A and B are shown apart, each in its own frame.
Chain A
Amino acid sequence: MRVGSGRLYVAVAAGGFRRYATYRAATAAGVFTNTVFGLILVYTYLALWEENPQLGGYDQAQAVTFVWLGQALLAALAIGGGGFEDELMERIRTGDIAVDLYRPADLQLWWLAADLGRAVFQLLGRGVVPFAFGSLFFPVALPGEVSRWAAFLVAVVLAAAVSFALRYLVALSAFWLMDGMGVTQMAWLAGFFCSGMLLPLNVFPGALGEVVRMLPWSSLLQAPADVLLGEADALGTFVFQAAWAVALLAVGRLTQSAATRRVVVQGG
């Protein structure tokens, strides 16, 4: 990649950040809502771990930390959707995508940069406050070592890449299905259920637990959480996340070129 194009994508990412930063009331509303949901979940988890201490290998403090991590990462990683994909789908549906394809920039990298900018803003703007609130008022299990926090941040960045790659595929489905609502909804369901947002994956019983842990969505919340909580080997987690990110981004590339050929055929 040339230096010039590198600068372009940095600018696109900065644009993504700034764009979300303008919605101050929406951000405040999001912080409030994440905090309320965190509160409700924390009490149910406390009751759950009260009945069964050491459930899934976590103690109560770890379970509580998991809840607030989920609320902090929900918007940043767009686990329930709500990133760039709606807009890209709309552009595909209306045909505006043809304009994007003429730009001297790579379509996938362009949206990746914009989505990373968005993710960074959502993490700082929406994630930090609920997490700080939770850490202040509930017993949490946070590491003292800087290295563990650094490893956690790497896992979050890899999670953002996996999340983007998944949603890019969802968006590209609009080339074949004019109405993307069904796919978006299915992606939302899978994201919530298989990432640990609904319940930590280590609480899932038996084979179900093993299967969901192998799926890409476990990179989103379960993987960074286990790195922070010291429940998973950091390097092994990075390899798992990176493998999914590379595989899904590659599938996205192939799908993109298949879809673009289609646009050229439709061309008129």
Chain B
Amino acid sequence: MAETARVARERGRVAEGVRTYGLIATMWIRSTMAYRTSFALTTFGNFAATALDFVAILLMFSRVDALGGWSLGEVAFLYGVAGVSFGLADLAVGSMERLGRRVRDGTLDTLLVRPAPVLAQVAADRFALRRLGRVTQGVLVLVYALVLLDIDWTAAKLLLMPVMLLSGAGIFCAVFVAAAAFQFVAQDAAEVSNAFTYGGTTMLQYPPTVFALDLVRGVTFVVPLAFVNWLPAGYVLDRPFPLDLPEWVAFTSPLVAVACCALAGLAWRAGLLSYRSTGS
């Protein structure tokens, strides 16, 4: 009985969180839309900024035919999947990297006294619709990859496409939340999270064959970013799996995403409990 009451309470909190998130995000969208030109320009800027690293890949392929044994189409596929997944996560919870600043200047207290889940408030804070620029760029590269590649489509591969993108977004969301939780401990060290978020997505844009085995092990078993695209994309592209992993792991991304989010949630709770205000 106690268990079901607990579950019901948890569910209520999740619903409340989603509602809070929606309200705050809507408010920020409205405020952004007050300056439409500025919105259009910053969205384009976001698009262009992320497009630049794909330009670098195109420049590389103007001088070589393959990278780590992967063709341009295959690398573009990896890039597109990583780009869309990361872009969705960045859109949803990318604002959390500002948490350190809020802890430092004490404005987090304002969020604590409001009768709404803190995580939802922090995640929706300054919700930036312009980040759709990054998602759009990822989608375009993914489409470009699908045009270049001659994939032997099966039902399983088709099903894996949306599953891969959403699970990838879930895994990246977990990384963002965990990195924010870390900022409760080290407020000035917000930049560490860049190594895992931006660094992670940069790494996933290239084939696993490029990197040292220990690095591949690290992003498979420690911070499981390999489940964002390397493993599921390996199945879609019929590529040998890194670390001799069996083929079925390509389908475990959703489980990994759920586990990551649960762990990140626990880390967030621990961080919030350890929070002491600035005391000024």
Which chain A residues in 19-43 approach chain B with CB under 8 Å?
23-26, 28-30, 32-33, 36-37, 39-40, 43
Which one, B45-53, B108-116, B160-168, B254-262, is touching chain A?
B45-53
Count A/B pairs, Cβ under 8 Å. Answer: 96
Residue B202 is within 8 A (CB to CB) of chain A in the complex: yes
Q: Provide the residues of chain B in CB contact with A188, threshold 8 Å.
A: 49
Tell me the bound Cα distance from A182 to B41 in angstroms.
7
Residue B152 is within 8 A (CB to CB) of chain A in the complex: no
Question: Known contacts being A25-B187, A26-B188, A26-B191, is A203 close to B210, with CB within 8 Å?
Answer: no
Whether the pair A199, B59 counts as a contact (CB closer than 8 A) is yes
Tell me the bound Cα distance from A39 to B199 in angstroms.
10
Which one, B14-22, B65-73, B80-88, B267-275, is touching chain A?
B65-73
Q: Provide the residues of chain B in CB contact with A205, threshold 8 Å.
A: 59, 62-63
* Interface residue tally on A, bucketed by range: 35 or more
Question: Known contacts being A26-B188, A193-B52, is A47 close to B206, with CB within 8 Å?
Answer: yes
Tell me the bound Cα distance from A56 to B64 in angstroms.
12
Question: Known contacts being A25-B188, A43-B211, A199-B59, is A189 close to B194, with CB within 8 Å?
Answer: no
Question: Known contacts being A179-B38, A185-B45, A204-B59, is A192 close to B52, with CB within 8 Å?
Answer: yes
Question: Known contacts being A43-B211, A48-B64, is A189 close to B42, with CB within 8 Å?
Answer: no
User: How far apart are B49's CB and chain A's nearest CB, in angstroms?
Assistant: 6
Whether the pair A47, B67 counts as a contact (CB closer than 8 A) is yes
Residue A52 is within 8 A (CB to CB) of chain B in the complex: yes
Tell me the bound Cα distance from A47 to B64 in angstroms.
10
Q: Provide the residues of chain B in CB contact with A214, threshold 8 Å.
A: none
Tell me the bound Cα distance from A259 to B189 in angstroms.
37
Q: Provide the residues of chain A in CB contact with B212, threshold 8 Å.
A: 43
The secondary-structure label for the interface of chain A is: helix
Q: Mark B192-236, 1 if CB is under 8 A from A, else 0.
A: 101100010011001001111001000000000000000000000
Residue B190 is within 8 A (CB to CB) of chain A in the complex: yes
Residue B186 is within 8 A (CB to CB) of chain A in the complex: yes
Whether the pair A33, B59 counts as a contact (CB closer than 8 A) is no
Whether the pair A198, B53 counts as a contact (CB closer than 8 A) is yes
Whether the pair B191, A51 counts as a contact (CB closer than 8 A) is no
Contacting residue for B195 out of A36, A44, A179, CB 8 A: A36
Q: Provide the residues of chain B in CB contact with A105, threshold 8 Å.
A: none
Whether the pair A203, B59 counts as a contact (CB closer than 8 A) is yes
Q: Provide the residues of chain B in CB contact with A23, threshold 8 Å.
A: 188
Question: Known contacts being A179-B38, A185-B49, A192-B52, is A203 close to B199, with CB within 8 Å?
Answer: no
Residue A181 is within 8 A (CB to CB) of chain B in the complex: yes
Whether the pair A29, B191 counts as a contact (CB closer than 8 A) is yes
Contacting residue for B48 out of A30, A39, A43, A189, CB 8 A: A189
Q: Provide the residues of chain A in CB contact with B68, threshold 8 Å.
A: 47
Whether the pair B48, A48 counts as a contact (CB closer than 8 A) is no
Residue B56 is within 8 A (CB to CB) of chain A in the complex: yes
Residue B249 is within 8 A (CB to CB) of chain A in the complex: no
Q: Provide the residues of chain B in CB contact with A51, threshold 8 Å.
A: 64-67
11 pairs, A vs B, C-beta closer than 8 Å:
A25-B186, A40-B211, A43-B212, A52-B63, A181-B38, A181-B42, A189-B48, A193-B52, A198-B52, A198-B56, A203-B60
Residues of A participating in the B interface, judged by any CB pair closer than 8 Å: 23-26, 28-30, 32-33, 36-37, 39-40, 43-44, 46-48, 51-52, 55-56, 179, 181-182, 185-186, 188-189, 192-193, 198-199, 203-205
Known contacts A28-B189, A29-B190; 13 further A-B pairs (Cβ under 8 A)? A24-B188, A29-B191, A33-B191, A36-B199, A40-B203, A44-B67, A51-B66, A51-B67, A52-B63, A56-B63, A188-B49, A189-B49, A203-B63
Nearest 7 interchain pairs by C-beta: A25-B188, A29-B189, A36-B195, A51-B64, A29-B191, A47-B210, A26-B188
